[in-house]
Amino acid sequence: MNYSNENEFLKDYDPEQYSPVAVTVDCVVFGITKVSSENYRKLDKQSLNVLLVKRKDYPCKGQYALPGGFVGQDETLEEAAVKVLKHKTGLDDIFLEQLYTFGDVNRDPRMRVISCAYVSLVNTENVSISDAEWFTVEEAAELPLAFDHNKIVQEAVMRLRGKISYTDIVFYMMPEKFTVSSLQEVYEIILGKKLIPAAFRRTIADKLEETDEFEKSAGHRPSRLYRKKLNSKDT
C-alpha cells in the first residue's frame, strides 16, 4: 500500500495483525534484616533479603515468585511497577530503579512474555509488608522460583553489588541512625567479602555525620550512631 500521509497509514494500521506479545514488570525488593546469631556473645547478624510472594493461581501455582504483573495499556513501566508493589506487597513510595528486561523466548508458559524488572531498596524497619515474605538471598537461590525469577534475583544482586561502591543507594536500606560497623557489615554482605575497618571508615567518612546517640548493647563498649549526611549525593 502507498499512503500519501501518516494519518492515512495509521487509519489502516491493525495492531491485532501481529502475534500477541505481553509485557510484565517484576519487582526485586531488597532489605536488610537481622538474623539472631546462635553465639550469644555476638550481636545479631544482618542478612540481605528479597521479598517473595506465593503464587495463588496458575501458572506456577504455589511457587514463590517476585511480585509482578502485566503492564496495562495506559500505564508506563514504572507506573506498573509501583502498582504491582502496592497491590502485592503493600509497599508504597519506595526507591525504585529499572534493572534489566528479560526476553527469553520460553520464559512464560502462557505466551511470549517479556518482563521488565525493577529493583527496590527498603529499610525493613520502616515498612509493613502484606501478603509477601522476606527470604535471605541464599534461601531464595535454593528455591525453584516461578518463571526465570531465580535469574532475575541473581542479576539484581550483581547490580546492587556493582552500584553500592560508586553510589549512595545503600542508605535506602539503612535505618535513620546506625553504627559504622553495622553499615560495614551491610557492605560486606552485599559485596560478599570482608572489608578492613580502618579503610572502610576512611572511604565512608564524608558520607556520614555523627549523632549524639550511642547504641546500647550488653557486653560491648557503646558505639556511636551516625546518619547519612544530608548534602551527600543521592545516588
- Residues 112-151 binding a copy of itself (CB under 8 A) are 112, 114, 116
Amino acid at 38: E
Instruction: Tell me, residue by residue from 35 to 74, as one string, x for binding to a copy of itself by CB under 8 A and - for no binding.
Output: -----------------------xxxx--------xx-xx
198 binds a copy of itself (CB under 8 A): no
Please identify which residue in 75, 139, 168, 215 interacts with a copy of itself, judged by CB under 8 A.
75
- Residues 89-108 binding a copy of itself (CB under 8 A) are 98, 100-101, 103-105
219 binds a copy of itself (CB under 8 A): no
Size of the site for a copy of itself (CB under 8 A): 39
109 binds a copy of itself (CB under 8 A): yes
49/120 with CB nearer a copy of itself? 120
Helix (H) or strand (E) holding 202: helix 197-204
User: What are the cell numbers at 18?
Assistant: 501481529
106/128 with CB nearer a copy of itself? 106
23 binds a copy of itself (CB under 8 A): yes
- Provide φ and ψ at 196, rounded to 5°: -85, 120
CB of 9 to a copy of itself, least distance (A): 4
* DSSP letter, residue 72: P
Q: What is the DSSP string of 12-70?
A: H--GGGSPPEEEEEEEEEEEEEEE--SSTTSPPEEEEEEEEEE--SSSSTTSEE-SEEE
Contact 214, 223 (CB under 8 A): yes
CB of 61 to a copy of itself, least distance (A): 7
CB of 180 to a copy of itself, least distance (A): 25
- Provide φ and ψ at 214, rounded to 5°: -130, 150
User: What are the cell numbers at 126?
Assistant: 520502616
168 binds a copy of itself (CB under 8 A): no
Amino acid at 121: L
